[in-house]
Each structure stands twice: as structure tokens, then as C-alpha cells.
A and B are shown apart, each in its own frame.
Chain A
Amino acid sequence: MSTTFDPPAEAAAAAPVDWDRASRDNVPGQPDIWLFVLFETLVFAGYFGFYLYNRPRHPGAYLAAQQELHLPLGIVETLTLLTSSLLIARSVEAARSQQWNTALRNAYATASCGVLFLTLKVIEWISEARAGNTPISNEFFSYYYFLTGLHLLHLLIGFAFLGVLVHRLRGPAARSREVIETCGVYWHTVDYLWVLIFALLYVVR
């Protein structure tokens, strides 16, 4: 059974791509994306730090505003993104075993979960705005809209990565293990950033 696929043009080596678990330098995806992932995580930690520092200084106001959020909705959103992460992890895994159709199906399912999260978020924003909670209502809600808005932007960029993933899975010439894993790594980052945002906005007292 032939397992050689030509790597993309930029790789000078003519050696066949190794689709086994052991990756070229044992880093999932391009090492470059990890710089981005960890840098963004630290930047977000900065935002979270300011939020957590300011919160106990006005506990009453923050708590009162926080009551306006719906925890169950937040939980559904979190579960949606966690599921999307599972699906893309399965997609990458299927790609490693060259099960292209399975990989594609999982990639599309991931995108659907992403769209579901997006929809839920927009609905949540609209309902909060209708209830009178806008970014300028109080400090808590300015953080809320800021963090969820910035996260949503990252999610939209995630769709671009998913697009690249699907493109790479479909064309036989374009299949690159590194790029496929890179797309996965980015999507998981969007997921775990949400996990943190959810805990800080909806649960922290």
C-alpha cells in the first residue's frame, strides 16, 4: 500500500511524508503556530488579570451585574466548543491515518459547532442588550462584551483556518500533515480561551 504523498512545494526534501504518529520534529503542527498560541494566551492572561484585579474592588456592582448573565447558556456554549474540539481532534487523527473522508466529515462538523456557538453568542448579546446591559452600562459588562467580542473575533479567524484545513484535506496534492495539525492547534486555542473566559465571566464571584 503506497503511503507516499509529495509534501508541498516549499519543502526542499523529496523524501516521502511520514504520516505516522512520530512527527518530523515531534511538534504538532508548525512550531511557529505555538509561538502565536502561547503569546496570545499570555496576552489574554493580561486582560484576565486586569479584570480579576478590578473585580474585588467593586464586589457589589460586579456581582449584581453578573446575575444578569445566564449560566446555563454559558454552559451550553462551552459544551458546544468542547465538542467542536473533539471533532477537529478526530479529524486530524483521521488525516494522520489517511482516512480523508472521515477527516472531512469531522472538519465540517467542527465548522457547524462553530456556527452554533456564533449564533448562541449573538443571541446572548442581543438579549443582554435588550435587558439594558450594554458595554457602557457598567464595568462588568464592558469586560463582558470586550472579552466575548475579542474571543468571537478569534473564532472568526478560526473559520479561516478551518477553510485552509478543508482545502488541504480535499486536494491530494495539497495534503500536508503539518498544516492540518496547525489548523487543529489554532482551533483548540480558541476553545480553551473560551473555557477561561467562561469561568471568569460566568462563575467567578
Chain B
Amino acid sequence: MRNAIDRRLLSAWLVLCALTLLYLVIDHSTADAGETRRALITVAAVVVSLAKVRIIMREFMDVRHAARWLRGLTDGVVALVAVALIGSYAAGAAWG
């Protein structure tokens, strides 16, 4: 049984590394990229990073097997952070 758990941890790690390397692809943006393109990249970066955070929580921190209230709470925090970050960026872009 431990081997199965180890394999699952390894798969999670591989997914996280792949998502990290994905950022190299995004890096093709230059400083002259238009506002829309930059906003899209920003939102994409935030969403991908929060997806990684959730994977770390679920797989590495073992929230997957934890009590329901903890699962709900961690998901809630991830969602809240997503809204806060994207909201801040949107607010700055709108009122800056």
C-alpha cells in the first residue's frame, strides 16, 4: 500500500513540475504586449499557481483524506485568495 501512496505523491510532483515549466512558455511575452494580453497572462498565472497550491494541499498535506470541514476550509481559502488577487489586479487596472 505504501508503494501506491508513494506513486501518487510522485505523480502529484510531476504534475506540479509540469505546471511550473508551463511558465516558460508564457515567458514569450515582451514588454510591448498589449494590456489585454498582459491581463490574460496575469489571470492565467494566478489561476495556475492556485491550482498548484490546491494540489499541494490535497496531495502533499493530505487534505484529501482529512475531515470534511478542513477540505471545505482549504478550498474556501484558495477560492478567496483567487478572488482577492484577480480582483486587486482588476481594481488597479480600472482605477489606476
Chains A, B in direct contact (C-beta < 8 Å): yes
CA distance A184 to B17 in the complex (A): 20
Task: State whether B52 touches A192 (Cβ < 8 A).
Answer: yes
Output the nearest chain A residue to B20 by Cβ-Cβ distance: A78
CB neighbors of A among B40-84 (8 A): 41-42, 45-46, 48-50, 52-53, 56-57, 59-63, 65-67, 70, 73-74, 77, 80-81, 84
Asked if A83 CB lies within 8 Å of chain B CBs, one says yes
Query: What 0/1 pattern do residues 88 to 125 of A give for CB contact below 8 A with B?
Result: 11101110010100000000000000000000000000
Give which listed residue, B13, B61, B74, B91, contacts A82 with CB less than 8 A: B13
- Tell me what chain A mostly uses at the interface: helix, strand, loop, or mixed: helix
CA distance A79 to B38 in the complex (A): 25
Contacts of B37 in A (CB 8 A): 205
Task: State whether B49 touches A198 (Cβ < 8 A).
Answer: yes
Output the nearest chain B residue to A197 by Cβ-Cβ distance: B49
Task: State which size class the interface on B falls in.
Answer: 35 or more
Contacts of B27 in A (CB 8 A): 71, 203
Contacts of B59 in A (CB 8 A): 89
Task: State whether A56 touches B85 (Cβ < 8 A).
Answer: no
By the criterion of a CB under 8 Å from any partner CB, how many residues of chain A are at the interface? 59
B residues contacting A by CB (< 8 A) are: 2, 5-6, 9-10, 12-13, 16-17, 20-21, 23-24, 26-27, 29, 31, 33, 35, 37-38, 41-42, 45-46, 48-50, 52-53, 56-57, 59-63, 65-67, 70, 73-74, 77, 80-81, 84-85, 87-89, 91-93, 96
